[in-house]
Amino acid sequence: MLTILAINVILSIGGSLVILNVVPKFRDMFVKAHLSGVDLNKINKPEIPEAAGVISSCIFLIVMFMFIPFPFSQHFFNKQWGFPHQEFVQFIAALLSICCMVLLGFADDVLNLKWRHKLLLPTVASLPLLMVYYTNFNSTTIIIPKPLRFLLGHDLDLSALYYIYMGMLAVFCTNAINIYAGVNGLEVGQSAVIAGSLILFNVIELNGDCWSTHLFSLYFMIPFFFTSLSLYQFNKYPARVFVGDTFCYFSGMTVAVVAIFGHFSKTALLFFIPQTANFVFSLAQLFQLFPCLRHRLPRVNKKTGYLDPSVFKFKDKSLSTLGRLVLKTYQLLGLVEVEQAEKDGESFQSTYCTLINFSLQNKNYGRISRLTTLWPPRLPKNLPEAT
């Protein structure tokens, strides 16, 4: 087991080094192919290559393809043991779902798909997972948390609802990372943190009864962690590349794969607490209770060089009763700042419902001066073009 993990780590480090060398060479190619965007968080708004996540995801897949023979090598040389066809199919199905999600994510970057398509794509890509899970395990029983066992008992068989839950998990993981974005390095940074946390969790659980499923998870999380770290070097402030929706989809599906096949889907959600909070906070705008643009990222203040929360303008009469109630509740809780936009008494503006904007409007941060470990709070006055 240790030898195979060592090989996995070596291949992962090799893949990360390849990314460090390949990404700079592909920057101009992405720009020429019109796969680029404007960095709105910089004063001079430079043009940045986009969809670079396809590079790291492809390198990840290559690393995993090269690694395929090693977990099954002992069965090649010892015919008496019999080949573990179920484990092999599980491994291939996981790679197939990730590969499908990379393809669909890149299509989103190129074609700029609508939100309803973004909900459908992960569902389609998760079908190989669900089919293999059905044929190999078909275990739909969940363990009830201790505080609720007096109501539901020790365990509960969800039957077909469990497959619906796993499909929804894939949709949530991909879109939760995609929604919680807007600042240089955030998409890749949060993915690396989740991957590192899952690696630590799986290493601890290797001493348990279900060590084989956690070993399977490590096979995927270690390469994902190293490739994400390399990509982060180009995506962190000041970003030289944007990762695009490709990386968000790829990242979410990779986590969903190991959570489903590793039988710790509920535990995996604990590592998505910030993403879950941001998703719940954003629901009101996602359901159009009040205006919501496609991008809700912070805006740079040219006078101060700081990032300010992004805002939307509205008229009180244009909101539904439920919309006014939700917005008023958010305002009372200090989650958003609502101000009068014009002197007519009917036009107002409010900060967008995201954790990033909430952090920026929080006076305790002093214009995000305490967030320097995540985002540089003050931008240079003469910021050079990214090269």
Tens digits of per-residue pLDDT, 62-72? 999 999 999 88
Label the pairing between strands 347-351 and 155-157: unpaired
Rg (CA), the chain: 23
Quickly list H helices, the chain.
2-32, 53-67, 73-77, 85-111, 115-125, 127-136, 149-152, 160-179, 186-205, 211-235, 244-261, 265-270, 273-286, 321-332, 355-361
Give the model's pLDDT for residue 338. 86
d(CA 64, CA 355): 34
User: Which residues of the chain, if any, have pLDDT below 70?
Assistant: 79-81, 293-295, 345, 362-387
55 and 251 Cβ atoms separated by less than 8 Å: no
8 and 218 Cβ atoms separated by less than 8 Å: yes
Q: Which of 215, 196, 207 is nearest to 261 (CA)?
A: 215
Q: Is residue 299 part of a domain?
A: no
pLDDT tens per residue, range 80-89: 667 778 888 9
d(CA 27, CA 237): 16
Domain that holds residue 163: 2-286
d(CA 336, CA 354): 9
Q: Buried (b) or exposed (e) across 98-125, using 16+ Cβ within 10 A?
A: bbbbbbbbbbbbbeebeeeebeebbeeb
Give the model's pLDDT for residue 57. 95
Q: Is residue 256 part of a domain?
A: yes
Q: Is residue 376 part of a domain?
A: no
Give the model's pLDDT for residue 294. 64
Q: Is residue 305 part of a domain?
A: no
Q: Is residue 301 part of a domain?
A: no
Give the model's pLDDT for residue 201. 93
Q: Is residue 354 part of a domain?
A: no
Total number of domains in the chain = 1
Q: Is residue 226 part of a domain?
A: yes
Give me the amino acid identity at 220.
F
pLDDT tens per residue, range 328-343: 999 898 888 888 877 7
For residue 209, with 0-12 CB atoms within 10 Å meaning exposed, 13-18 middle and 19 or more buried, which class applies?
Answer: exposed
d(CA 260, CA 264): 7
Q: Is residue 225 part of a domain?
A: yes
